[in-house]
Chain A
Amino acid sequence: MIKSPKKRFWDFVTHKKLADLPAIPIIVGDHAAYLSGIPVKEVCKSGKKLAEVLENSFFIYNHDLVIVFSDVTVEAEAMGTVISFPENDSPYILKYPDLSKIKAGDPLQAGRLPEILYAAECCLNSIGSDVQICVSLKDPFSLSAQLKDSGDFFRDCIKNPDLNTKILEIALENQKMFLREIIKVGCLPLIGAPLSSGSLISPAIFSKFVSPYLKPLIQIIREADLPVMIHICGDAEIIINEIMLLKPDILSVDQLDIPKNAGRFNGKTLFMGNFSTDLMVKGTTKNICSETKKLIQSVNYPFLPATGCDVPKVTPKENVIAFIKTVREYKEKI
Chain B
Amino acid sequence: MNEKEIWKKLAESVVLMKEEQVAAVANTVLENGFSAREAILNGLTEGMRQVGVKFSEKVYFVPEVLVCADVMYRGFDILKDYAEDGDKPDSKKSSVLIGVVEGDFHDIGKNIVGLMLSTEGFIIHDLGANISASLFLEKIAELEPDIVALSTLMSTTLDKMKTIVDKIREEFSDRCPKIMVGGAPVSEHFAEQIGADFYGEDAGQAVVGAKQLVRVA
Distance from B166 Cβ to chain A, minimum over Cβ atoms (Å): 15
Distance from B26 Cβ to chain A, minimum over Cβ atoms (Å): 19
Complex interface residues of chain A between 143 and 167 (CB less than 8 A to chain B): 150-151, 154-155, 157-159
Residues of A within 8 A of B154 (CB): 90
Interface residues on B, range: 20 to 34
Residues of A within 8 A of B91 (CB): none
Task: Tell which of B108, B130, B186 touches A150, judged by Cβ atoms closer than 8 Å.
Answer: B108
Measured CA separation A309–B184 after assembly (Å): 11
Residues of B within 8 A of A205 (CB): 61, 63
The reply to whether B66 and A234 contact each other, CB–CB distance below 8 Å, is no
B17 interface residue per 8 A CB criterion: yes
B58 interface residue per 8 A CB criterion: yes
B64 interface residue per 8 A CB criterion: yes
B111 interface residue per 8 A CB criterion: yes
The reply to whether A200 and B61 contact each other, CB–CB distance below 8 Å, is yes
The reply to whether A238 and B64 contact each other, CB–CB distance below 8 Å, is no
* Inter-chain residue pair count (beta carbon < 8 A): 69
The reply to whether A89 and B187 contact each other, CB–CB distance below 8 Å, is no
B158 interface residue per 8 A CB criterion: yes
Known contacts A282-B190, A312-B156; is A90 also within 8 Å of B63 by CB? Answer: no
The reply to whether A158 and B159 contact each other, CB–CB distance below 8 Å, is no
Q: Count chain A residues whose beta carbon lies closer than 8 angstroms to a beta carbon of B.
A: 31
A281 interface residue per 8 A CB criterion: yes
The reply to whether A314 and B159 contact each other, CB–CB distance below 8 Å, is yes
Distance from A247 Cβ to chain B, minimum over Cβ atoms (Å): 24
Measured CA separation A277–B186 after assembly (Å): 10
Task: Tell which of A30, A92, A93, A155 touches B67, judged by Cβ atoms closer than 8 Å.
Answer: A155
Among all A-B residue pairs, the 9 with the closest Cβ atoms:
A154-B63, A312-B155, A92-B105, A202-B61, A313-B156, A200-B62, A157-B63, A89-B103, A277-B155
| Given A92-B130, A154-B62, A200-B108, 4 extra CB contacts under 8 A | A157-B63, A277-B155, A278-B186, A310-B155
